[in-house]
Each structure stands twice: as C-alpha cells, then as structure tokens.
Structure 1
Amino acid sequence: MPKKNLLSQKKRSAIHEIVGWKLPKFHQASECYVAFSAFNPEKGKLCMKKIMLGHIHGKRQQRQYGEDLVKRITEKLVNGWNPWIESEQPLEYTEFNVVCEKYKEYLFKLYRENNMREESVATYSSCLNILREWKEKKHINLFYSYQFNHSIVGQFLDYVFIDRNNTLQTRNNYLAWLKTFCKYMLERGYISNDPTASYSLVQRRNLRKSRDVIPDGLLRELHEWLEQHNRHYLLACYMLHYLFVRPKEMSYLKVGDFSVKRKTLHLHGSNTKNRNDAVITLPDHVLKLMLELGVFNNPSHYYLFGEGFMPSETYHSEKSFRDYWDRRVRKALNMSARYKFYSLKDTGITNMLRANTDILTVRDQARHSSILITDIYTPKDIKEANKCILGYRGVL
C-alpha cells in the first residue's frame, strides 16, 4: 500500500474514533429497522449496526417502537455506550454507580470477616463518597465503568489537591486508595487496564512529622498536673508512653486483659493494627498505679477506659483521649500544638532507647515488624559504638 494511502487511512481512523458515533435513524420501507454507526476499535472505523423491527406487526406499532428505540440508543451513546465493545467486554459496561455499591459491599464484608480494620473501611468509604460527589458536581462523563480512565484519575487528583486545597499527603492518600479501587475493578473485569499505573506518590521535601518528642521537663509537669487532676487519664498516658498501646487499641482494653501475677497485658488481634495477638510487659510503676486506682476491683469484662477514663461497662471511642489532651492538658500546661497525645508514644520509644534499653526489647514492646522501624526513633546522640561489643572477642 502506498505511503500516502496508509497515512490517509490512519487519519480517517483517528477522525472516526474522535467522532465516536452517528445518530440512530428509523427506517420503514421494504425493511423496517433502526440503524446507527459507532466506532469499532477492532476495525478502526465507524461501522453500521442495524436493529431489525420486522417482527413487530403493524406500521404504526413499528414507528412508535422505532422512535422510542432511537431515543434510548441516543441516550446510551451520549453516555459512552459502544455496541462493539459491549459484545467483547460486557462487564465494562456495568454502570459506575453499581460498581461503587458493589465495592462498598465488598469492604464491609472484609470488615465482618476481620480482614480489614474499621478505620480502613471508613477511610475508603469516605474517599469513594468524595469521588462520587465530584462526578455529580462537575458533571463528569462517567456512566460506565470502562470510562474510569487515566484522564478521569488525573482530573480527580487535581480536584483533591487544588480545588479542595488539601495537602500533598492527602493527595497521596487518595492516590493510594485509587490504586486499591482500580485493582478491585480490574480483577472483576470492570476495566481492562489500570488507569493509575502511570501515577506515583509525590515525594515531599523536608518531610517532617506534625508532632514532636516531648522534653523531660514538660513530661514532669504533665505527671504532676495529672496526679492532681486526673490520675485515670495519667494511666492512659502510661499505656501509650510505656506500653506503646495505640489510642484505638486502648479504647478496647478490658480489665481482664491484664495479668497481675505475670505483669503482662494481652492484646487481642481483633483490636490491633496488624491483626495479631500480642503480650506486652506491664512495668511495675504502671501496675502500682492500677492497683491504687482500684482497677482490678471491677469485673473483668469492663472496659479499662470508660466515661471519665474510669473502668466501665460502656465502650468509649479513642477520640476521647485526644479531646481531653487538646481541651484540658495542652491548655493547662500551655503546650505547643506539636506536642500531641500520640507524641507520648514517640517520646516513650525514644527515651527507652536513650536509657540504653536493648533495641530488640524496645522493638518487641512497641510491636514493630522490624528493627529498622525501631531505629528511626533512636536519637542521633546515642548512635555510637556499643560498649558491649568494643571488648568482645570470639574464638577466631
């Protein structure tokens, strides 16, 4: 084929793909049918499709049915329907809203099977709701699942980052969720390729946590203030600072989870971040405070931190720990906003390492998956030669 003809054919194919389709028309002569053209990606051009109506008896009935069919087909074409693709990949023509509802059902099923945390389900559901609200608000042409493509992903990420004025971290969080959402759709045949594949997390320069390690002097002030005003909340601070129990995990702690004899706390996998059971050492001074507060005089099924942070039969959310810290503790001690309740955990790990506690011991107490994670907390001023190793010599 001459080069000129080949280029001409490619140009026509590109034009046809841009046009996409032509309006359907009703025909009633020797044959009765509705005909329309749509871009056939396999052939690279617009192809005509006929829907015969000869089985309908009576000219009037044929015309009425044909005109209604023209309206329905036109609406489907406007929404992105393509008969040639549908015949090859029918699941890609599942309505996007239907896919979203199925995805939500999938998330809640994972949660019921203890395969996803409640916070993750809530976060993923929130991201999905924002996506659907954006689609409706901006009138995005996203009717069928196959239309969820690279361009749509880019537009949505820009909406999150620029229009909603969120941080780069939030933009990255949404992209991470989009990748899991697209994986779900790809595995089920709702899309034929991953539209997030070319997008990556944007690295933030000068990355720094929004919280700081609390200095020793301020820790002493905190202890003195809580000793006078709320010793039960002091116990909560101990749990985070010495046992490294996360606030969410703390909210599920029960009196029966503690062993006075063994001086341990048993964490149940259903409530932990990594879904694993764990046994944590209970320091003597923490156990002493629990005894002084009469914690073990309560039934074993009582939550350790109920109303007023006292043992109770009623569950209280982890939000109460942060609220009390922000509204009472931080204001009373005139603390910087960078000293958060969760700073107690960072500070506890750092100070335990600073006290020359073996890093493996700290790793196990903090339930880190790797020493590398624990080492992040190691202060630079103690990253020096280990005296135990300096004098060691083996048999070689």
Structure 2
Amino acid sequence: MSFPRYEFAVTSCKSRSCGKIAKNAAPDLRQKNLRSEPVLVKPLLGSSKISPTKKMSSSLRTTNGFIPAKVAEGKRWYVEFYCLDPETGRLRRKRVSVPKIKGVTARRRYANDMVININDQLSQGWNPYLSLNNPEEYTLFDDVCEKYYRYLYKLTESDIMRVKTYNGYTSFLNVFRAWNKEQHKPVCYVYQLKSSVVSKFLDWLWLDCGKAARTRDNYLSWLRSFAGWLMEKNFISEDFTANLSAVQGKRKCAKNRTVIPKETMLAIREYCGDRNRHYLLACYVLYYCFIRPKEMSFIRIGDISVKGGTISVRAEYSKNRKDAVVTLPDCVLKLMLDLDVLTCPADWYLFSSGFRPGAEHHPAKHFGDFWTYHLKKDLKLPSEYKFYSLKDTGITDLIKARTDLLSVRDQARHHSLQMTDLYTPLETRTANESIRHHESYF
C-alpha cells in the first residue's frame, strides 16, 4: 500500500484564522471509505535532498548529506570531507590531519585507509557535527511526519482510531509543520524538537492567533501523544512536553454550548412538520435520545425495539466504542409509527436519501447540510444555532424538568455524573433542604 506525502500551506495570519490549513493537507476520511487509499499529492515539504553551498562544484553535490572524503596533499596533509551542519542547514568542510609517517608511499597508504574508514562511517549516518547516542534522532523531521501519517491512517483503517480523531491529529500536525516552516531556524531533524520549540508554538497559537485556552490545551494533549509515539519508535529519548502544563489544568469549565430557546424550538418543529417530517424525526432522535449525528446515520430499522421502547447503538459506530441501549420516548415512537418507517426491511437505514428509510447509507453530513442551507436560512436563525445544538438543548431541558442526573447520564451516555452536571443551568440548582433548615447552638 502506498501513502502520500502530505501537502500543506499557511493562509494569511489574521486574528483567529491564523494557521488554517489547505484542504488537501492530508487524506480526509470524513466521507471516504476507510478501505480506499488516499490520493497521492505533490509534496510541498519533505525532500530529503541536501543542497550544498553555492561555491561547491555541481559534480560534488550529493543527496546523502555529505561529500565523500579525499586526501589533500601539500605542506600539511589532510583528509577532508563535507558534512551537513544541522545548525545552518549547509554542508560544512571538515579536515582531519594525516600524521607524519616516514616515506611518501607509506603516508599515502595510511591516508587512503583513513579515507575508506571515514567514508564508511559517513555512509552509516555518522556526522561529526552531530553528537547523538541514537542514530534515529538524526532522521529528517519531514520523514518522521510521513511515518506518523501512515501510522494514524493504519489505525483508522483498522477501526482502532475514530475518523474524527484521525482528522484532528493530522490537522494539528499540519498546523505545526506549517508554523515550523515559517520559523527562522525550523526543525529539520527530529532531535531538534525541544520543549522550547513546542512552548513557542503553543504561545503562537494562544497569544498571536487568539485561540481559546481550551484549543491551546487540545494542541498540548496531541503533542503529548505525538511525543509518546516518537519515544516509542526511538526517534527521541526525552519527552519534550514533560515540563509543559495546560492553561486550564484539571479545572473543568462549563460546557460552551448553545441552548435553543423554546420559541425557536417550536418554530423548528412547525417548519419540519410542513417541509420534511422525516427530518423532524431526525431532530427528535437527537433532541430526545441524545444519539449523535454519526451514530444516527448508522441506525437500522432492526435496531429499534417497539416492544422494549429502545434504540440500540452499535459499538462500531458509537463514540465510546461500546454497545448501548437508549430509551425511545413515546413521542418519538409515535412519529415513527405515523411515518410508517417501522414496516421497512430490518437491514434498511432509518435515515437514507431524503432522510427516509433506505438501503443506502448516507453520511452524517446531510443532517447538518439541511439544517444550514434550508432550515436555518429560512427561519433566519443565528449562526450559533447548529444541528448538534438540539442534543445540548434536549439534555438541558431534561434536567430542567427535574429528571434525576443519573437517568440523564445514562440516556446521554456520559462517562460520569460530573460531565452531565456541566449541562445543569444555574437557575435549576436548588438549595439543600437539610442545610437550609439547619440551626445550631451558635
């Protein structure tokens, strides 16, 4: 299987748009069959060829990072060769004195032996300007990045990593590589990845580009994962993120979610009821069942139990990779019966073409497209109201209805009550009655 070199470029740095990546930065698997191979693109970076200084003859140019040694005889005898200096990115001459030996023939033979020995070491990766215990640390950073892309792609193709995670990790790396390319002294070899470089990159994101603290911390989380992979593959010996900390630390901040008001929700229901009742069913499933759009796109008719009043979510499409059973409220089941979707074949998808049941799978993107280009446009909704906002609104409204948090957690499939509690509006929090009526001797 062949893999591409990934092309990327930096857009103009203007406020929050700083560091955006071209669309062909890496194979986008959002709408690709995971079994299909990415399309090869022409590399923008990543050439392993080393250009010598301009003064050198073109006949001496090499692609191996050095010019072989040769004997220079004169008043003083030397074995001289050129090798890449990582600090300047240019080939630099190195001279080794040939000791004085009685007899020109004997001295020349000794010098030739020195040439053979030095060239042998150079061909094995030795560099006098680079003192490393581990030769892997001398690997070109662009080559390491390509291996990392291949690693992520294989994880995703094997269904070990989610497509969303793959796209996120490759995007993070593309932004870092684009930033690195613009630096005065960019990282050329993987050993040059130091804490100071990473810290400078994170400051650029947060302070110069105006990214949120959470975004900056997300990049740091990815960099820790990247550093772990580099250490596992023996490319580096120390974790360059060990001394870096998250801005927010372990503090959990309130969910930055947009809750749609009741009047707008009623307008959405009326609009969908008139235009497309099958899309209204999709809105109901998201609002009442808290099933994510990607998971919704894979729901089959056979996953719905009328008798049990549940919808099964399969592990291979679930966010947490676990099988789950979600409660199906009566109002959602009634709409399903009115639309006569439950009489379709069990292996049909609930939301296929036109959001009607069908044998063909449609990606989750079509839910958001209808919302953006039709519903939100026709109802003139604010830009912050997204299709996914229905899930956040549903969780918040269920908590407002005094439903116990444990039941809300199970329906939303949160990993902890702490996560569910982040959705609880301040106005719904009530006083503890036992504390409220407590009075002591003081």
Is TM more than 0.5 here? yes
Corresponding residue number in structure 1 for 2:268: 222
Secondary structure at the aligned position of 2:80 is classed as strand
Higher share of residues assigned helix: 1
Task: Select which of 69, 85, 91 maps to 2:136.
Answer: 91
Gaps of 5+ in 1: 1-22, 40-47, 391-396
Deviation at 1:230, TM superposition (A): 1.1
Corresponding residue number in structure 1 for 2:152: 107
2:188 is equivalent to residue 133 of structure 1: no
Equivalent pair of 2:310/2:325 in contact (CA under 8 Å): yes
2:199 is equivalent to residue 154 of structure 1: yes
Q: Which has the higher contact order (CA 8 A, sep 6+)?
A: 2
Equivalent pair of 1:34/1:50 in contact (CA under 8 Å): yes
Alpha-carbon distance between aligned partners in 2 of 1:333 and 1:120, rounded to the nearest angstrom: 33
Corresponding residue number in structure 2 for 1:379: 425
Deviation at 1:171, TM superposition (A): 3.2
Q: Residues 163, 384 of structure 1: CA spacing in aligned structure 2 closer, same or farther, 3 A cutoff?
A: closer
2:167 is equivalent to residue 116 of structure 1: no
Corresponding residue number in structure 1 for 2:411: 365
Equivalent pair of 1:258/1:264 in contact (CA under 8 Å): yes
2:236 is equivalent to residue 191 of structure 1: yes
Write the letter of the residue equivalent to 1:123: G
2:302 is equivalent to residue 256 of structure 1: yes
Write the letter of the residue equivalent to 1:281: T
Corresponding residue number in structure 2 for 1:45: none
Alpha-carbon distance between aligned partners in 1 of 2:400 and 2:181, rounded to the nearest angstrom: 54
Write the letter of the residue equivalent to 2:146: E
Greater alpha carbon shift after TM alignment, 182-191 vs 30-39: 30-39
Secondary structure at the aligned position of 1:85 is classed as coil
Write the letter of the residue equivalent to 1:246: R
2:345 is equivalent to residue 299 of structure 1: yes
Task: Select which of 200, 211, 227 maps to 1:182.
Answer: 227
User: Taking structure 1 as the reference length, what is the TM-score of the superposition?
Assistant: 0.74
TM alignment of 1:322-361, pairs within 5 A: 322-361=368-407
Secondary structure at the aligned position of 1:279 is classed as strand
Deviation at 1:27, TM superposition (A): 4.0
Deviation digits for residues 29-52 of structure 1 (CA, Å, limit 9, x no counterpart) = 59773379999xxxxxxxx99599
Write the letter of the residue equivalent to 1:176: S
Alpha-carbon distance between aligned partners in 2 of 1:131 and 1:371, rounded to the nearest angstrom: 35
User: Taking structure 2 as the reference length, what is the TM-score of the superposition?
Assistant: 0.67
Secondary structure at the aligned position of 2:131 is classed as helix
Equivalent pair of 2:287/2:391 in contact (CA under 8 Å): yes
Alpha-carbon distance between aligned partners in 1 of 2:435 and 2:158, rounded to the nearest angstrom: 48
2:357 is equivalent to residue 311 of structure 1: yes
Write the letter of the residue equivalent to 1:256: G
Deviation at 1:238, TM superposition (A): 0.8
Deviation at 1:169, TM superposition (A): 4.0
Deviation at 1:285, TM superposition (A): 1.3
Corresponding residue number in structure 2 for 1:237: 283
Alpha-carbon distance between aligned partners in 1 of 2:298 and 2:433, rounded to the nearest angstrom: 41
Alpha-carbon distance between aligned partners in 2 of 1:36 and 1:335, rounded to the nearest angstrom: 66
Deviation at 1:359, TM superposition (A): 1.7
Deviation at 1:24, TM superposition (A): 10
Gaps of 5+ in 2: 1-66, 86-93, 99-105, 437-442
Task: Give the percent of matched residue pairs that are identical in Structure 1 and Structure 2.
Answer: 42
